[in-house]
């Protein structure tokens, strides 16, 4: 399989399958993709991370995704990092964003809404339609925390007096679980 945008989308879905396997199965059907393609995309992307001759940092993403939709800078504390974003066909309203440190290392990679955060209600917390910033903007008491695996993230929030944990992979909502 030639590694390009479609393969990259499948590689992202491989990790999303950890928390939302049914949604990934639906996406595979929508894309006319197989589980074997999903596994191969993930394996290829992982191999390039460790291959001596493969591009590193942002170069690895440019190799797979081509020219970014956006390049800029963002101050974070006392540092300024580079921001690079790509539009991906499967997630039309979102872009995949890299935050790149001064030494070229990737600090973060996740989906963002390039048009700005969108306020959502609790009922609007629909998997694959919300990003971390949407939830943070919509629930003033939201507290972010690390997820349970690489590229996982969580946001704890309350609704009608009950606590919930919104779980994300690459910054994209996968599910919302009550906290008992």
User: pLDDT tens, 40-95?
Assistant: 999 999 998 888 888 889 999 999 999 999 999 999 889 899 999 999 999 999 99
Tell me if 38 is assigned to some domain. yes
- Domain membership flag for residue 114: no
Residue 22 has pLDDT above 90, yes or no: yes
pLDDT for position 74: 92
Q: What is the pLDDT of residue 31?
A: 97
Gap between the Cα atoms of 44 and 6, Å rounded: 13
Q: What residues make up the domain containing 27?
A: 1-54
In this predicted structure, what is the pLDDT of residue 170?
Answer: 97
Q: Tell whether 124 is covered by a domain.
A: no
Interval 126-180: pLDDT, tens: 999 999 999 999 999 999 998 888 899 999 999 999 999 999 999 999 999 999 8
Give the pTM: 0.92
Q: Is there a domain that residue 156 lies in?
A: yes
Is 146 within the bounds of a domain? Answer: yes
Question: 71 in a domain, yes or no?
Answer: no
Q: Residue 116: pLDDT above 90? A: no
Would you say residue 62 lies in a domain?
A: no
Residue 5 CA to residue 18 CA, distance in Å, equals 21
Residue 103 lies in a domain: no
- What pLDDT score was predicted for residue 102? 86
d(CA 133, CA 6): 25
Task: Say if residues 142 and 157 touch (Cβ distance below 8 Å).
Answer: yes
Domain count, the chain: 2
């Amino acid at each position: 399989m030639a590694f390009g945008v479609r393969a990259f989308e499948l590689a992202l879905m491989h990790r999303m399958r950890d928390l939302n396997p049914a949604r990934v199965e639906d996406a595979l059907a929508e894309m006319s993709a197989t589980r074997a393609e999903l596994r191969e995309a993930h394996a290829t992307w992982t191999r390039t991370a460790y291959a001596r001759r493969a591009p590193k940092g942002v170069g690895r993403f440019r190799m797979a995704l081509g020219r970014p939709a956006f390049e800029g800078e963002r101050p974070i504390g006392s540092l300024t990092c580079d921001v690079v974003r790509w539009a991906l066909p499967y997630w039309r309203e979102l872009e995949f964003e890299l935050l790149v440190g001064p030494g070229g290392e990737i600090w973060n990679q996740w989906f963002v809404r390039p048009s700005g955060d969108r306020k959502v209600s609790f009922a609007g917390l629909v998997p694959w339609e919300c990003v971390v910033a949407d939830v943070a903007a919509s629930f003033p008491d939201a507290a972010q925390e690390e997820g349970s695996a690489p590229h996982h993230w969580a946001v704890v929030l309350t609704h009608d007096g009950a606590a919930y944990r919104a779980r994300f992979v690459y910054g994209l909502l996968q599910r919302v679980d009550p906290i008992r």
